[in-house]
Structure formats: C-alpha cells, structure tokens
Amino acid sequence: MVWSSSLNINSPSFSLLISLSFNWFIIFFNLIIKISHALLIISYSSIWPVDSNFNKNVLSFISSYTQIDTGEYFILFFPIFKFIVVVNLISSYINVPLGEITIREFSDGELWVKYEENIRLRAAAALRDEPDLLTFSIQAIARGQTEKAVDTYMMGYNNPDYSDNMKSLALYQIGLIYMNRFNDQRDDAKAREFFTKHRQEFPSSRISSRIQSHLAELNQRAENPVFVPAKELLNNLNREELLSRPNIPYDDELNPMSERAITEDRIEEAVTVYTIVYENEASGKEIRSKALYQMGLIYMSPYNSQSSRLKALEYFRMITEEFPDVSIRPNVDLRITELLNAQ
C-alpha cells in the first residue's frame, strides 16, 4: 500500500475536520465577543460623557446587537468601533462636538476635509503671529506636537557638533513655539525659561536682539494676564482671508517663512536664520543647500523690495560649488539658467 502525504479534500474525514474546527472557532469567537461587548460598554461610558446624544446612540447601537449572529456582529461591530476611535481623535481638533457628528459626514470625508483645513488655518495664524517660526515649528503648533518638536530641537542643542548659532536657534524656536498664541500647548513660563537660557548662554548670537524683544512681550503679557485659549482665537479669525493665498504669485518653491519675509519686508531676519542653518556643518549637505536655495529664491523674487539677481546667482552658485550632488541640484541649474537668460 502506498501512503500519500496529501489530504483528499473531497473525503468525508476532511469535511468532518473542517466542520469541527469551524464550530470550535465560532464558540470561541462568541465568547470573545461577549467579553468584548461588556468591556466596550464599560470603557466607552467611562471615557465619554453619557449625556451626549452621540454617545447614547452608540451605546444603544452596541447593546441592541448582543444576541445577533457572530458573523453579523463582526461586520457591524468593527466599523462602528473604528468610527468611534477615529472620530474621537479628530473631533476636538476640528472643533465639532461629538454629538453633532453623523456617520454620513464622516464617510463622505467632510470631517477629514475640515480637519486638514483647521491644520492649515492654525499654521497660517501661528506664522502670522510670529514670522520667525521655521516650517518644522509651524507644523508642530498646527498638529499639536509641541513636545515632539521641543525634543527634536533639544537634540540639536545638545549635539556637540552643532555651532553656537545653531544651538541658539534651537532655543529660540522652542521659545517661539511655547509663546505662540495659537498653540494649544502654549506656556509663557516655559517660553521665558528658554529665552532666558538663550540670553545667558549665547549673548552675542545673531538673534540676540530678537530674544530681548520677545522677553519684553512676555513681560507685557504678565502685566495684563488675560489668557484666551487658542481655539477661541481661531474661531474669531476670518478663515477665508487667512487660508487664501496672497494675490502675489509667489514661486512655488518658496517656503512659508520665505514668503512671509517677502510680504512683510523681513528679508534680513529670514536671511539671518538661513545663514545660521547653512553655516552649521553638522546639519548635513541637504539641509544646508536648501537654506542657500531659499535665500537665492528670496533675492530672485520680483516681489522682494530688496531683490538682487547677483545675490541670487551667488547663493545658487554656492550650492553648485559646495554641494554638487544634492537632490535640489537640477532645480538650482534651472534657476541659474533662468537668471542668466534674463540679463
């Protein structure tokens, strides 16, 4: 007799094995579902207020499916659980009470659109409040990631290879993040702490004068301690005005800080920050070259009151000479050609 190592799927024994395995799976899964059902109601009730219409509807929905078949329970339970978790995470950020959210709005993407719009609104408001904010700092404020940004900047501050000016810039950005009025994690005391630390350790840095002006602003706030939450400030803004791009057709490669520098004639301040980044060798060639590139774009812009074709060419050529193999090199070559052809 020859034994085969394969199992005949058409045999009665195979069918019996599959049937028993499936039945045991159903029994086990039903047990898990019952436990999960109880835990879900307990945990859900403890996390969100029961008096919310939204929450009452969800709890009623879950409770009504206690006795249904396992397959139907899984199909219905998983989407609603995912819906609860995701909506809760973004509801506070989109400034819509949970009780006013409908499944239709969520499935149609309306909430996600508003969530993204609110991020852009907060970013624009934060930058208007403080034009010296770097893009990384702006995004930290807009996305509620203050502590993450502080940790990142402190890594730079503690890096022995970083220049003093770069370390001072790290402390400066932390102070700006903490004192920004549109930051939900605003903390004037911490802002003062980092500005004071900057003044003590880097009294002759390129941005020392700005440290003094921000400390003076914090002193004024302390004298008139009227704290308005960031969300309230955002609600009072003209959304359309703030979210609309200026009528000036800026170059698409200008970052928000560079655009703001041109709009508000703060070229010197922007160049100072970019120069600090460029001079810090530990930043790496990609970041250093992009700092030069932004300065070139600023001086190349026809909307810059201090525009200079020669300065723009100088910054672009520094990239080709010092960082010939960086990712933005093709763009730099195009800019140089454009400037030379404009003579």
Examine the pLDDT at 38 and tell me if it is beyond 80: no
C-alpha count within 13 angstroms, C-beta hemisphere, residue 226:
3
Average pLDDT over residues 47-71: 44
Q: What is the domain count for the chain? A: 3
What's the pTM? 0.64
Instruction: Tokens for 327, please give them.
Output: 């990712």
DSSP track, 173-209: HHHHHHH-TT-TT--HHHHHHHHHHHHHH-TTSTTHH
Same-domain status, 262 and 323:
yes
Tell me whether residue 244 is in a domain.
no
9 falls within a domain: no
Would you place residue 9 in the very low, low, confident or very high pLDDT band (cuts 50, 70, 90)? very low
Let me know if residue 171 belongs to a domain: yes
Residue 233 forms part of a structural domain: no
Instruction: Give residue 158's domain range.
Output: 133-225
**CB of 214 within 8 A of CB of 195?**
yes
Q: Which 3 state secondary structure label does DSSP give 312?
A: helix
* Residues 150 and 206 placed together within one structural domain of the fold: yes
Task: Tell me what pLDDT residue 121 has.
Answer: 87
Helices 70-94, 53-63: inter-axial angle, 10-degree rounding: 170
Residue 110 included in any domain:
no
Q: What residues have CB less than 8 Å from 257, skipping those under 6 apart?
A: 127, 131, 132, 133, 134, 135, 270, 273, 294
The SS3 assignment for 144 reads: coil
User: What's the mean pLDDT in 34-56?
Assistant: 45
107 assigned to some structural domain:
no
**Interval 308-324 mean pLDDT:** 96
- 150 inside domain: yes
In tens, the pLDDT along 237-279 reads 887 776 776 667 788 899 888 988 998 888 998 999 999 999 9
Average of per-residue pLDDT across 157-162: 95
**Boundary of a domain, candidates 92, 119, 147:** 92
Q: Which ranges of 255-325 would DSSP assign to H, the alpha helix?
A: 256-263, 267-279, 285-300, 309-322
